[in-house]
Structure 1
C-alpha cells in the first residue's frame, strides 16, 4: 500500500500585542472551547510577512505590522495522532496593531472562530490556548522579547 502524499504547508501566525495584552481568537474546536493565534496559510508568491498581515486582517479586521519573527514551529500530524500527511511549518511573528486596536471584526473568520479577545499576558498560561507549548512563551513576552527560536514539533 502506498504511503499518503505529504505536502508541507507553510503558515504565518501573529502574536499581536497592545498594552500588555495579546489578541486571541476564541474558538470551538473538536468539542472544546479554546484559543488560537490569528493567522493562516501562505499563498504561492506571497511572503510570510504579507501572509500574516492578510490573515490577521481577514480574521480580525485589524491591520498589523509584523515587527520580527519570534518562533518557527512545526506540526507533524503523525507524531500527535493526527493524519500522517498533516505537516505544517508556522512562522510566528510579533505584530503591532495599526489604528484602533479595539475595532475588531474580520470579514472572513475561521469556521471554528467564536470571537476575539484581548487577553492580559499573565493570564495566558491558564487558558486552553492551542498549541499548549506556546502558552509560557507568550506569557514571557510580558517581561522581555526573547531571541528568535526554532521550537520544533510542538503541540
Structure 2
C-alpha cells in the first residue's frame, strides 16, 4: 500500500476568472487547479509556489487555506488504476506575483496541454477536478471548508 500523499494547490481568482491547467485524457479536455505533491521537508506554502512555477510558469503569493479535500482512489471512477491512491489536498488562495499572461511552466504534468482562465460563471460547464469545488467557487468563498473524499 502506498503512503498517504499531501498535495498543495493554488486557487487563483482574478476578474471573476479562475486560472486552471488544461489537460487531456481518453475522454477529452479536463481542468485542474495548479499544484502538486509536497516534498519531504517542504512546507505546503512552498510546495504551492514551486508547483505553480513548474506548471504555469508564474510565481504566486500564497494566502489562506480555502479547502481541504481527500481523494481515496478506490471510491471513484478512476479506481481501476487509482485504487491504491490516498491523497490529501490543501487548496490555498493565491495571487499571481507577475501580471504576465504567458504561461510557460518548465515541468508541466504529463496530461497538461496548457493553462487557461475560466470564467467562474462557466465552471459548471467544463470537466474540472475536483468538481466539489465548483459550486463553492461559483457562489463565492466565505469560510474555509473540509470537503472530504470527493472527485
Higher alpha-carbon Rg: 1
Q: CA RMSD in A?
A: 1.3
- List alignment gaps of at least 5 residues for structure 2: none
Q: Secondary structure at the match of 2:136?
A: helix
Structure 1 residue 84: deviation in Å? 3.0
Matched, 1:25 2:21: yes
How many pairs are equivalent? 148
Distance 2:66 2:14 in 1: 16
So what's the TM-score if we normalise by structure 1? 0.90
Q: Secondary structure at the match of 1:49?
A: helix
- Residue equivalent to 2:102: 103
Matched, 1:43 2:39: yes
- List alignment gaps of at least 5 residues for structure 1: none
Structure 1 residue 6: deviation in Å? 3.5
1:29-83 CA distances to partner (integer Å, 9 max, x unpaired)?
2432111110000000000000011001110011101111000000011111513
So what's the TM-score if we normalise by structure 2? 0.92
Structure 1 residue 125: deviation in Å? 1.5
Q: Secondary structure at the match of 1:62?
A: coil
* Range moving further from structure 2, 46-55 or 28-37: 28-37
- Residue equivalent to 2:136: 137
**Runs of 4 or more off by more than 6 Å in structure 1?**
none
